[in-house]
Amino acid sequence: MRSAGGEFFCRDGCGMRFVIFKIVISLFILAVAVMGGVAYYAYSAFQIPSKNINEKLVTVPKGAGTMAIADQLRAEQIISDPYVFVVAAKFLPPADTIKAGEYQFQPHISMQDVIAKLKKGETYKRKFTIAEGLTSYTILEKLKTVPDVQIIDIALPAEGSLLPDTYQYEKNETVPSIIARMQDARKKLLEREWPNRDQNLPFSTIEEAITLASIVEKETGVAEERKRIAGVFINRLRQGMPLQTDPTVIYALTNGQPKNDGQGPLGRRLLLKDLEIDSPYNTYQNVGLPPGPIANAGREAILAVLHPEPHDFLYFVADGTGGHVFAKTLDEHNRNVTNWRKIRAEQ
C-alpha cells in the first residue's frame, strides 16, 4: 500500500519478517555461545592438568583403536574426556599415529602431553644391569629375578657369550629374548674391535681373546689395572709360562656355579691342595689358556686384552687396597707375596 506521500508501508507482513529476523539472530547468538562453551570445555580438557595424583604405567595394546585407548586412559583418570581425546588425537599435531607400548604418565599430566607422548612413542624404559665378571649360570639366575620378565626354559648360555651391561627391556619380554640381545651385543662389539687389535698377540681367535678377557675380568675390579694385568698374561703366554691364576681353579671347582654365600665363590678360601685339581681349567697345572672363558667379560676387559699395556711384568699380587703390586722377577714377587700375607693376617 502506498501512503499519501507516495511511500510504501506494510502491516502484518513486515512484522512477521522482523520477528523471524530476531529469532534467527537469537539462534545465531545461542549457537555462537554454545560453540564457545564447547570450545572452552574442549580447550580446558585438552590443556588443563589431569586430576590423577599418582604416577601410572599404562600399556597400550597393539591394534587398539583410539576410542578404546581413550576409555582406558579415562578409567585411569589420566584424561578427563575420551571424546575430546579422540578428536584431538586425530586432527591436532603431531600428525603421527598413536604407538603401542608401555607408557609412564606423571601426576597431573595434560591431555596435550599425553597425546604427544603416545604419538612420539616415548615408552617407559625398564632397565636392568648385569655386572662384569659373572658366570652365565649366575647371569641367568639374575635375569629370572628381573621384574615383569617372562621366565621361559632356556639352555645355559655358553660361558663368555654374554656382554655385561645395562639393558632396556619391555614388560613381559622373555628371558631367551634378553639372552639373545646380550649375545648379539657381544658379537657386534667383537666384530667392531677385533680387526683393530694389536699385532703379534699370542692368540689367534676371538674365543681365545674372550677367554683371556674373562680371566682379566676376574683378577681385578680396578679399571686402571685391566690393561696392565692383561699385559702380564700376554708376557707369560709369549714365554710359555703357566698363567697360574686362581679364578681358573675356582671355575674348575665350581663349574661356573658359585655358592655366593658371602664367603667367596667357594664358600671358603682357595687352598693349596685346590691348585692340584686335575682339570684343563687349572692354569697352575697346564700351560696356555684354559679351554674356554671362565666368566662373561665386559667391554673394557675385552679391549684390555686386544690392546694390552706393554711392559716386562710377569707377576702380580694383591696389595691390600683392592689393587695389585707388580713384579718383573720371581724374587721381587716373593717379597710382595710375603708383604701381602702380613697385610692379610692383620686384616
Ordered by where they begin, the domains of the chain are: 56-120 (3.30.1490.480), 126-186 (no CATH), 198-346 (no CATH)
Amino acid 261: pLDDT: 66
Range of lowest pLDDT (28-42, 142-156, 158-172, 322-336):
28-42
Amino acid 254: pLDDT: 93
> Confidence band (pLDDT; 50, 70, 90) for 262?
low
- Inform me whether the pLDDT recorded for 191 exceeds 80: yes
Q: What is the mean pLDDT of residues 110-120?
A: 92
Amino acid 239: pLDDT: 96
Q: 269: Cβ–Cβ under 8 A, 6 or more apart, which residues?
A: none
- Inform me whether the pLDDT recorded for 316 exceeds 70: yes
* Residue 3 Cα to chain centre, angstroms: 93
Q: Could you identify the residue written with the cell 681353579?
A: 249
Amino acid 204: pLDDT: 94
Rounded to the nearest integer, the mean pLDDT of the chain is 87
> Which has more confidence, 39 or 86?
86
Range of lowest pLDDT (4-13, 30-39, 100-109, 207-216):
30-39
- C-alpha pair distances (Å), 15 with each of 7, 21, 23, 160: 17, 10, 13, 97
3-state secondary structure of 243: coil
Q: What is the pTM of this model?
A: 0.78
Q: How much is the CA Rg of the chain, to the nearest whole Å? A: 36
Q: What is the mean pLDDT of residues 154-166?
A: 96
Amino acid 38: pLDDT: 46
3-state secondary structure of 2: strand
Q: What is the mean pLDDT of residues 88-104?
A: 86
Q: Could you identify the residue written with the cell 587398539?
A: 64
Amino acid 32: pLDDT: 47
Amino acid 26: pLDDT: 53
Amino acid 51: pLDDT: 80
Amino acid 40: pLDDT: 45
Q: 329: Cβ–Cβ under 8 A, 6 or more apart, which residues?
A: 314, 315
Phi-psi region of 6 (alpha: psi -120 to 50; beta: other; left: phi over 0): left
Q: What is the mean pLDDT of residues 134-162?
A: 94
- Inform me whether the pLDDT recorded for 157 exceeds 60: yes
What is the percentage of the chain residues whose pLDDT exceeds 90?
Answer: 65
The three three-digit cell numbers of residue 79, written as one number? 584424561
